[in-house]
Every structure is written in structure tokens, then in C-alpha cells.
């Protein structure tokens, strides 16, 4: 799913895609959001560069990558790329209901925050927490927005 997600983000960057992906594709993305390593690899779609690629490879190999993830998430964020990936996560979230949508809304929240859009990040985080009050990523972004931490876009 990571390769398919990245291909769709690249297509959106190039202006070749604005359509909502098919339901089956969105279903695979929703399942990926439930696996923390896969979800984190998809969160890395906010950036590009050697740190991002290294962190993604470590995550997918099951080697853990917290330090690498943080480095890539802080140093290689591209606000436009993050915003387009956030829009893709919103498209996926709209294919689900209830708790099944929480992961997609949380990913959208993180990506919007990474793009520098605290307002959209807060809205998506609220939707994630409404669907699943225990969703850790959704709560993390909601707390960051609620605490007034500035969105991170560049």
C-alpha cells in the first residue's frame, strides 16, 4: 500500500490526479492506517529526501524508526506535498464510517499540521477522536492544536 499511496501523492503533485480513489483502494489504505508501521510510513508522504526514504525503509523492515521518523518529519517536510497527501487521506476517510474512519482522519490531521494548516488539522483530529476517542494519533494532534502548538509547514 505504501507504494500505491506514494504513486497517488506523486500523481497529485504532477496534477495528473484529483479523483477520489476507488473504494477498494481506499479500503486497503484504511487497513494500512491500522498498522502503526504502515501508517507511519504513509505519514512520511509529507516529505521527501534521504532521511524520509531511510525512515520508510526501516519502518517497513520492522526495525523501528522513531529517531529517523522524527528527523524526516522535522527536516524534510514539503508543505505542498503534505497538503496533497492530507487531501488524499480525507478522500479515504470519506469512504468509511465510525471507528473505521478514525485512522484516516488522524492521518489527515497529522499531514495538515505538517503542511502548516492548523485549522484543518484541528478539524480532522476532532473527527478522528469523535470516531474513536482512544485513537492515539488523533488525540496527539488534537492536543497539539488545542495547546496552540504552531503547525509545522514550511
The answer, yes or no, to whether residue 52 has pLDDT greater than 90, is no
> Domain ranges in the chain?
2-146
C-alpha atoms less than 13 angstroms from C-alpha of 18 in its C-beta half-sphere: 1
Flag whether pLDDT at 74 surpasses 60: no
Would you give the DSSP letter of residue 35? Answer: S
3-state secondary structure of 77: strand
pTM of the model: 0.84
Asked if pLDDT for residue 142 goes beyond 80, the answer is: yes
Q: What is the pLDDT of residue 154?
A: 45
* pLDDT score of 66: 57
Supply the pLDDT for residue 72.
Answer: 53
Taking every pair of Cα atoms in the chain, the longest distance, rounded to a whole number of angstroms, is: 37
pLDDT digits (tens, 9 = 90+) for 92-128: 999 898 999 999 999 999 999 988 899 999 999 999 9
pLDDT, residue 153, reads: 52
Cα 152 to Cα 109: distance, rounded to the nearest angstrom? 12
Least confident stretch, 57-61, 138-142, 145-149: 57-61
Query: Would residue 80 be called left, alpha or beta, if left means φ above 0 and alpha means ψ between -120 and 50 degrees?
Result: alpha
For 2-146, the fitting CATH number among 1.10.8, 1.10.287, 1.25.40, 3.40.1800 is 1.25.40
Amino acid at each position: 500500500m505504501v507504494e500505491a499511496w506514494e504513486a497517488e501523492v506523486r500523481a497529485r503533485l504532477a496534477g495528473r490526479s484529483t479523483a477520489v480513489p476507488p473504494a477498494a483502494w481506499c479500503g486497503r489504505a484504511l487497513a494500512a492506517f491500522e498498522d502503526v508501521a504502515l501508517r507511519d510510513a504513509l505519514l512520511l508522504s509529507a516529505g521527501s529526501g534521504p532521511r524520509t526514504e531511510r525512515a520508510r525503509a526501516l519502518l517497513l523492515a520492522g526495525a523501528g524508526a522513531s529517531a529517523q521518523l522524527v528527523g524526516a518529519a522535522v527536516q524534510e517536510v514539503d508543505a505542498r506535498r503534505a497538503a496533497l497527501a492530507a487531501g488524499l487521506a480525507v478522500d479515504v476517510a470519506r469512504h468509511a464510517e465510525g471507528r473505521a474512519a478514525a485512522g484516516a482522519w488522524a492521518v489527515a490531521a497529522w499531514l495538515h499540521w505538517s503542511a502548516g494548516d492548523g485549522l484543518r488539522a484541528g478539524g480532522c483530529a476532532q473527527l478522528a477522536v469523535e470516531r474513536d476517542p482512544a485513537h492515539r494519533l488523533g488525540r496527539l494532534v488534537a492536543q497539539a492544536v488545542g495547546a496552540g502548538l504552531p503547525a509545522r509547514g514550511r
